[in-house]
Amino acid sequence: MIYSLYIINKAGGLIYQRDFAESLNKLTSNEYLVLAGTFHGVHAITSKISPVRNATSSGLEVLEADSFKLHCFQTLTGTKFLIIAEPTHGNIDLLLRRTYDIYSDYVMKNPFYTPEMPIKSELFDTNLAKLIKQVSS
């Protein structure tokens, strides 16, 4: 099962957050923002501390815990997509890619969207819901 999706802009601001499961603990909107900002910071640190010489690190990509796992995908422009899912769920990478596809179609090609601002796009919501439904079934 997919739990939730977060999209973080290149400055570390949370621009989209959606839960797909009923049973999740809810946070206040401020706490979501703090969470996103914190992750952004941790990601920045992890991409700097590669122990391998002369290698650039991609930063944090997967975070696993007993009750969930978190996958992060950073686009070339610095936007980060986080998917939180059940620990046993496979193929999250593909799902992240598909989410990125939908994002570039229904968010970036939408004339009423201002880059780096919170996403309020009806078509993005519906197409994302369709994708998640497809993956869960």
Partner 1 sequence: MSQNSRISSVLSSNETRLIKRVSIVERNLNKTKGAEVGLGAFAFLFSEMLQYAQKRVHGIQDLETKLNDFGYRVGTRLLELIVWRDKNSKRETRVLGILYFIHTTVWKTLFGKQADTLEKSTENENEYMISDNDPLISKYISVPKELSELNCNSFLAGIVEAILDGAQFPSRVTAHSLPIDGFPLRTTIFIQLDKEILQREEQLK
Could you say whether residue 106 binds partner 1 (CB under 8 A)? Answer: yes
Name which of 3 and 124 has its Cβ closer to partner 1.
Answer: 124
Q: How far apart are CA 25 and CA 126, in angstroms?
A: 23
CB of 118 to partner 1, least distance (A): 12
CB of 10 to partner 1, least distance (A): 20
Name which of 41 and 115 has its Cβ closer to partner 1.
Answer: 115
Q: Which residues, 6 or more positions from 41, have their beta carbon under 8 angstroms from its beta carbon? A: 12
Could you say whether residue 112 binds partner 1 (CB under 8 A)? Answer: yes
For every residue of 72-113, DSSP letters joined together read EEE-TTS-EEEEEE-TT---HHHHHHHHHHHHHHHTTT-TTP
Could you say whether residue 16 binds partner 1 (CB under 8 A)? Answer: no
CB of 111 to partner 1, least distance (A): 4
**What letter would DSSP give residue 116?**
T
**What letter would DSSP give residue 20?**
-
- C-beta separation of 89 from 63 below 8 A: no
Q: How far apart are CA 14 and CA 83, in angstroms?
A: 13
For partner 1, the binding residue among 48, 109, 130, 133 (CB under 8 A) is 109
For partner 1, the binding residue among 118, 123, 129, 130 (CB under 8 A) is 123
Could you say whether residue 110 binds partner 1 (CB under 8 A)? Answer: yes
Q: Which residues bind partner 1 (CB under 8 A)?
A: 105-106, 109-112, 120-124
